[in-house]
């Protein structure tokens, strides 16, 4: 398969054929993110994408899941994205699901009819990096939208019939009252957006990014394991969406947590309490890859 640069995908897409339709991220200014800093954003020509699909057909034969890379495939021109989706469904008879990351700015640029047309053409799941429900935090990390626009982007995705998977970032606001407000505002936004899945990842400083450099010189406080667990606790205590598939088991997380809400809430909170009391182990910095 032909890929340009490092390829990222959500953990849940480990079985998917990764098709690079865009290179990099159309936004690429978030202060905490270093994923696509080495790539200049561009949309790959349809001819190249079709060639890749034909190669995948030869190499894999049958494909059931496809994830469209890179960081914000929804930014691609709607007509071109429809053409890619049609080509995928024509090429792979056993195809069940096509997914992609959706940046909030690109999502809001698409009309409701465009989002629906893409859904009807077989784009089924969108991953939205919400990061925080706090307007101040979103603006500080240069996400490109505030909390209200982020909510609108998520609601548009839901209303168009997608399986919406939201990611939030623990530790993005710093410690103390800022951490508490970040947790509460994030729970509030999730409750209003009503995604089907929520992944809470933990912020890990990336050298060479504005926030990573601020963390390295002590200008941005990185949460301890205890402070991070207290933030997850705030999230779990205040999220009321049901049903919700909740995961906090990414490599960046101190304590792997996973379950359905509301039925597993007490069990998950008990795990956190035990970890806070030292009765359950948490991942070391080494295990988290630091
Ligand atoms: S929109 Fe996503 S991929 Fe792009 S810079 Fe921000 S966090 Fe990174």
SS3 68: strand
DSSP character at residue 8: -
Q: Write down the pLDDT at residue 78.
A: 98
Q: What is the mean pLDDT of residues 40-48?
A: 96
Is residue 55 within 8 Å of residue 4, measured between CB atoms?
Answer: no
SS3 175: coil
Closest ligand 1 atom number to CA of residue 129: 2
Q: How far apart are CA 236 and CA 267, in angstroms?
A: 11
Higher pLDDT residue, 271 or 288? 271
CB burial of residue 185 (10 Å; 0-12, 13-18, 19+): buried
Question: What is the Å distance from ligand 1's center to 266 Cα?
Answer: 33
Around ligand 1, the residues with Cβ closer than 6 Å are 25, 27-28, 30, 33, 35-36, 71, 103, 129
Q: Write down the pLDDT at residue 280.
A: 75
Q: What is the dihedral of CA 127, 129, 130, 131, to 10 degrees?
A: 140
- pTM score, whole prediction: 0.96
- Residue 120: is its pLDDT beyond 70? yes
Q: How far apart are CA 256 and CA 271, in angstroms?
A: 9
152-208 confidence digits (pLDDT tens): 999 999 999 999 999 999 999 999 999 999 999 999 999 999 999 999 999 999 999
CA distances 255 to 183, 202, 266, Å, are 17, 10, 16
Q: How far apart are CA 249 and CA 262, in angstroms?
A: 18
Q: Write down the pLDDT at residue 282.
A: 84
The β-bridge partners of 254 are none
Q: What is the CA radius of gyration of the chain?
A: 19
Q: Write down the pLDDT at residue 284.
A: 81
Q: How far apart are CA 28 and CA 30, in angstroms?
A: 6
CA 276: distance to chain centroid? 27
Closest ligand 1 atom number to CA of residue 70: 3
Question: What is the Å distance from ligand 1's center to 270 Cα?
Answer: 33
Question: What is the Å distance from ligand 1's center to 36 Cα?
Answer: 8
224-243 confidence digits (pLDDT tens): 999 999 999 999 999 999 99
- Say how many C-beta atoms besides its own lie within 10 A of residue 54's C-beta: 12
- Beta-carbon-side half-sphere exposure of residue 19 (alpha carbons within 13 Å): 31
Closest ligand 1 atom number to CA of residue 35: 8
Across the chain, the runs of DSSP E, i.e. the strands, are 17-20, 22-23, 42-43, 65-69, 97-101, 123-131, 163-170, 197-202, 244-248, 257-261
Q: Sorting pLDDT into bands at 50, 70 and 90, what band is 290?
A: low
Residue in this structure with the two tokens 């914000």, named with its chain if needed? 72
SS3 221: coil
Pocket test for ligand 1, best of 20, 74, 103 (most atoms within 8 A of CB): 103
Higher pLDDT residue, 89 or 281? 89
Question: What is the Å distance from ligand 1's center to 254 Cα?
Answer: 23
Nearest CA to ligand 1 atom 8: 33
- Residue 128: is its pLDDT beyond 80? yes
**Average pLDDT over the chain, rounded to whole?**
96
To the nearest whole percent, how much of the chain has pLDDT over 70? Answer: 99
Question: What is the Å distance from ligand 1's center to 262 Cα?
Answer: 30
Question: What is the Å distance from ligand 1's center to 276 Cα?
Answer: 32
């Amino acid at each position: 398969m032909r890929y340009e640069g490092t390829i990222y995908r959500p953990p849940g897409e480990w079985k998917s054929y990764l098709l690079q339709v865009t290179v990099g991220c159309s936004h690429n200014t978030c202060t905490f993110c270093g994923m696509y800093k080495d790539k200049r954003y561009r949309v790959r020509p349809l001819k190249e994408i079709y060639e890749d699909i034909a190669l995948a057909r030869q190499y894999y034969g049958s494909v059931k899941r496809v994830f469209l890379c890179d960081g914000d495939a929804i930014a691609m021109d709607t007509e071109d994205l429809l053409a890619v989706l049609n080509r995928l469904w024509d090429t792979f008879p056993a195809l069940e699901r096509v997914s992609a990351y959706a940046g909030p700015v690109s999502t809001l640029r698409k009309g409701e009819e465009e989002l629906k047309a893409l859904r009807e053409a077989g784009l089924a799941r969108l991953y939205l990096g919400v990061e925080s429900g706090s307007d101040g935090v979103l603006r500080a990390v240069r996400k490109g939208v505030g909390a209200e626009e982020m909510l609108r982007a998520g609601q548009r995705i839901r209303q168009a019939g997608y399986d919406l998977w939201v990611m939030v970032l623990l530790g993005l606001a710093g410690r103390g009252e800022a951490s508490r407000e970040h947790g509460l505002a994030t729970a509030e936004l999730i409750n209003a957006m009503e995604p089907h899945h929520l992944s809470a990842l933990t912020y890990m400083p990336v050298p060479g990014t504005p926030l990573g450099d601020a963390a390295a010189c002590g200008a941005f406080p990185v949460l301890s394991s205890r402070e991070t667990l207290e933030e997850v606790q705030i999230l779990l205590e205040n999220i009321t969406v049901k049903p919700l598939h909740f995961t906090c088991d990414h490599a960046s997380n101190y304590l792997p947590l996973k379950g359905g809400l509301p039925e597993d809430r007490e069990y998950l909170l008990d795990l956190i309490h035990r970890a806070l009391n030292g009765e359950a182990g948490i991942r070391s910095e080494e295990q988290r890859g630091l």
